[in-house]
């Protein structure tokens, strides 16, 4: 159901692009549909451990290769009156359309326009329980032996400039987006037991909203290759960079021995910079 | 018109009657309710040095991990074997028995209290003979199974007291000492009080205590 809700705006607007709705033909001047495959690389700050768990130290990242691969679909619609819509949906190997990049574009000038839209993508927090395993001496830091992993979503609204350049069969578009985003809130539980002792402890984390400004430039290059009747088939490439500096603060409740008398604490963590680079390529059909 | 009163219709009628009787009787809930008395208490040692406790016969424990398993039961009923469900195969199965998979044991006298008295000095402030129930926490299987932490021992009587006990006429729980006991030995007297004011008591084995490195 969650996936359906996410893809619904894309489906609605894609439907509008179909020739089944003839009335739209007078409203939509041109349509483009694309399919592409891409890679996503996350580069987070990793700060020294303090006395408190900092979830952003456990953003999934590796030095060897891009952390995520995704398949994407997009639609670009050119309306009358210099308005455009650009809709991109990406999915990991679970085929859940969880990466969204939806923009409305107004082009008052040939080479300069304005955008406003919505952006969201998922990423993983892995093995955050290692903080407790390493720092809580004398305890089994987490009695849960499973691989601890959580999916969190960066979600934000954005606005910016767009600069399209079209020369014969070459179409280059630059976007300079910025906005405000937040990491999805979540709750986690860590259970601990004293080594060679009876004492048990349970720690529950509930994160807070973490709004932060982000910068999100994008570049798109399209090359028309073939004409098939009224349609044009081409290849496309797209690159983007997302940068943000945020902290994940939370409320922590700790129980010892029994569920009586918990200790509640508010924890403010330092802000981390992290960035995301995406590169993808594919095919498009314009008609 | 002549009514056929031959052998075949009569046999068919008899078989049909037998079948109907079987259908009716199979829909009657069999008796799975038994009364019993708590008349036996046993105490065993637990090794709680790891993440999960295990039963052990070893009388050596870490001083911060003193733990016992207590079982109270109806010794007579357990010994008699009447509580064992017969494995009667196909004919013993009825629609209702499928819905009542476990017998239910109703205690004649309910559990009203539990006390723990130390038989050794636990620290300079806790001498032998002191009621140390408040220094223990407990775990009761199948009670709030989603919970990781313990129950206070004072909460045990109300948690243990049930209208009936499924499966067998006994109930077990684990006791864990909160104290890091200062001495080198520990032994406790555990007493369960029932609603008729009778008590069941058991003494733990003498425990040798070692310190964690």
Eight-state DSSP code of residue A59: B
The pLDDT value given to residue A1: 47
pLDDT at B88 over 90: no
pLDDT at B83 over 60: no
Least CB–CB distance from A202: residue in B48, B51, B148 = B148
Secondary structure, 3-state, chain B: CCCCCCHHHHHHHHHHHHHHHHHHHHCCCCCCEEEECCCEEEEEEEECCCCCCEEECCCEEECCCCEEEEEEECHHHHHHCCCCCCCCHHHHCCHHHHHCCCCEEEECCCEEEEEEEECCCCECCECCCCECHHHEEEECCCCCCCCCCEEEHHHHHHHHCCCCEECCCEEEEEEEECCCCCCCEECEEEEEEECCCCEEEEECCCEEEECCC
Least CB–CB distance from B178: residue in A193, A196, A257 = A257
Q: Which residues of A touch B148 (CB under 8 A)?
A: 143, 191, 200, 202
B115-137 average pLDDT score? 95
Say if A258 is an interface residue toward chain B (CB within 8 Å).
yes
| Domains held by chain A: number | 1
Q: pTM of the prediction?
A: 0.81
Q: How far is B159 from chain A (nearest CA, A)?
A: 14
The pLDDT value given to residue A152: 94
Confirm if A111 and A129 have CB atoms less than 8 A apart: no
The answer to whether the CB atoms of A199 and B64 lie below 8 A apart is yes
Question: Which of B183, B213, B192, B191 lies closest to B66 in space, CA to CA?
Answer: B183
Q: State ipTM.
A: 0.80
| Cα–Cα distance measured from residue B193 to residue B28, given in angstroms and rounded to the nearest whole number | 38
B115-144 average pLDDT score? 91
Strand partners, A102: A87, A118
| Cα–Cα distance measured from residue B170 to residue A158, given in angstroms and rounded to the nearest whole number | 65
| Cα–Cα distance measured from residue A280 to residue A89, given in angstroms and rounded to the nearest whole number | 12
The pLDDT value given to residue A20: 46
- Segment 181-200 of chain A within 8 Å of chain B by CB: 191, 193-200
The answer to whether the CB atoms of A202 and B149 lie below 8 A apart is yes
The answer to whether the CB atoms of A259 and B176 lie below 8 A apart is no
- pLDDT 10s digits, B165-197: 888 889 999 999 999 999 899 999 999 999 999
Q: Note down the domain range covering A101.
A: 2-286
Tens place of pLDDT per residue across chain A (287 aa) = 455 455 555 555 555 555 444 555 568 889 999 999 999 999 888 888 888 999 999 988 887 767 889 999 999 999 988 999 999 999 988 889 999 999 999 999 989 999 999 999 999 999 999 999 999 999 999 999 899 999 999 999 999 999 999 999 999 999 999 999 999 999 999 999 999 999 999 999 999 999 999 999 999 999 999 998 889 999 999 999 999 999 999 999 999 999 999 999 999 999 999 899 999 999 999 99
Least CB–CB distance from A258: residue in B62, B65, B137 = B137
Instruction: Considering only residues B149 and B144, tell me which one the structure prediction assigns the higher pLDDT.
Output: B149
Least CB–CB distance from B48: residue in A191, A198, A257 = A198
B67-76 average pLDDT score? 92
Interface probe for A, chosen from B51, B178, B209 (most Cβ of A below 10 Å), is B51
The values of phi and psi at residue B113, to 5°, are -165, 155
Residue A201 CB: number of other CB atoms within 10 A?
19
């Amino acid at each position: 159901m969650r996936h359906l809700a996410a893809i619904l705006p894309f489906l609605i607007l894609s439907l509008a692009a179909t020739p089944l709705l003839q009335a739209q033909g007078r409203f939509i001047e041109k349509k483009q549909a694309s399919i592409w495959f891409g890679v996503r690389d996350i580069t987070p700050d990793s700060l020294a451990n303090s006395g408190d768990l900092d979830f952003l130290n456990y953003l999934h990242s590796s030095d060897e290769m891009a952390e995520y691969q995704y398949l994407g679909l997009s639609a670009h619609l050119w309306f009358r009156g210099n308005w455009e819509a650009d809709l991109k949906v990406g999915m990991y190997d679970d085929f859940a359309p969880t990466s969204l990049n939806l923009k409305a574009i107004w082009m008052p000038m040939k080479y300069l326009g304005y955008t406003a839209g919505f952006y969201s993508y998922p990423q993983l927090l892995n093995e955050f329980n290692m903080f407790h395993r390493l720092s809580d001496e004398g305890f089994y830091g987490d009695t849960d032996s499973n691989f601890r992993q959580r999916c969190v979503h960066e979600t934000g609204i954005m606005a910016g400039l767009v600069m399209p350049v079209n020369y014969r069969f070459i179409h280059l578009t630059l976007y300079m987006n910025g906005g405000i985003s937040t990491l999805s809130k979540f709750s986690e539980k860590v259970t601990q037991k004293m080594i060679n002792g009876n004492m048990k402890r349970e720690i529950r984390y509930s994160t807070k909203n973490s709004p932060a400004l982000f910068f999100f430039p994008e570049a798109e290059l399209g090359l028309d290759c073939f004409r098939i009747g009224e349609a044009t088939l081409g290849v496309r490439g797209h690159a983007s960079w997302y940068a943000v500096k945020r902290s994940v603060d939370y409320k922590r409740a700790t129980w010892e021995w029994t569920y009586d008398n918990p200790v509640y604490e508010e924890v403010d963590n330092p802000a981390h910079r992290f960035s995301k680079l995406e590169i993808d390529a594919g095919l498009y059909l314009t008609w | 018109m002549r009514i056929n009163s031959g052998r075949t219709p009569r046999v068919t009628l008899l078989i049909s009657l037998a079948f109907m009787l079987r259908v009716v009787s199979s829909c009657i809930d069999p008796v799975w309710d038994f009364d019993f008395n708590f008349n036996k208490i046993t105490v065993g040692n637990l090794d709680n040095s790891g993440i999960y406790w295990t039963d052990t016969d070893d009388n050596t424990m870490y001083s911060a991990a003193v733990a016992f398993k207590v079982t109270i039961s109806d010794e007579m009923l357990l010994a008699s074997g009447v509580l064992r469900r017969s494995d009667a195969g196909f004919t013993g199965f009825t629609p209702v028995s499928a819905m009542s998979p476990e017998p239910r044991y109703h205690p004649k006298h309910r559990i009203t209290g539990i006390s723990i008295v130390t038989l050794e000095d636990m620290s300079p402030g806790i001498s032998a003979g002191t009621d140390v129930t408040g220094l223990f926490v407990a775990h009761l299987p199948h009670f709030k199974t989603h919970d990781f932490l313990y129950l206070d021992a004072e909460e045990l009587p109300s948690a243990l007291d049930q209208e009936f006990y499924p499966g067998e006429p006994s109930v077990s729980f684990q006791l864990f000492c909160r104290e890091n006991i200062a001495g080198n030995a520990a032994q406790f007297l555990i007493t369960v009080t029932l609603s008729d004011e009778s008590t069941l008591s058991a003494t733990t084995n003498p425990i040798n205590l070692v310190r964690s490195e």
